[in-house]
Amino acid sequence: MSDAMKPGKTIWEMFRERWKGRPTVSFYNPLDLGIGATPPVREPQYAGYDFKAAEIREYSRTIGEKTFVFTDYVLTGIKDFDRRSEVTLRLRVMPDDRGGQNAFLLRLYDDLAYDQGLENVVRDAAGVFEVSYDEGELDGQGNPRHAGDTEVYHRVNDVQDSYRALVSVIKETDASRKGIPDTAEAVELEYWDFGREIGEGGQTYPQLLFVEMNAKTGWFQIWQGEPYYS
Q: What is the pLDDT along the chain (230 residues), one digit of tens a residue?
A: 444 444 455 555 666 666 666 778 889 999 999 999 999 999 988 999 999 999 999 999 988 888 899 999 999 999 988 888 899 999 999 998 888 899 999 999 999 999 999 999 999 999 999 988 775 566 666 676 666 788 999 999 999 999 999 999 999 999 999 998 888 888 999 999 999 998 877 789 999 999 999 999 999 999 999 999 87
Dihedral of alpha carbons 112, 117, 118, 119, sign = positive
Dihedral of alpha carbons 192, 184, 62, 90, sign = positive
Pairing of strands 185-200, 66-79: unpaired
Pairing of strands 66-79, 163-170: unpaired
> In the chain, which residue ranges form alpha helices assigned H by DSSP?
9-19, 116-123
Distance CA 63, CA 199 (A): 33
The reported pLDDT for the residue numbered 4 is 42
Pairing of strands 49-63, 163-170: antiparallel
The reported pLDDT for the residue numbered 14 is 64
The reported pLDDT for the residue numbered 1 is 45
Nearest to 62 by CA among 165, 173, 186: 165
Asked if residue 56 lies in contact with residue 26, where contact means CB atoms within 8 angstroms, the answer is no
Dihedral of alpha carbons 134, 76, 50, 25, sign = negative
Cα 106 from chain centroid (whole Å): 7
Q: What is the DSSP letter of 134?
A: -
The reported pLDDT for the residue numbered 36 is 97
DSSP percent split of the chain into helix, strand, coil, nearest 5: 15, 50, 35
Cα 220 from chain centroid (whole Å): 12
Distance CA 168, CA 164 (A): 13
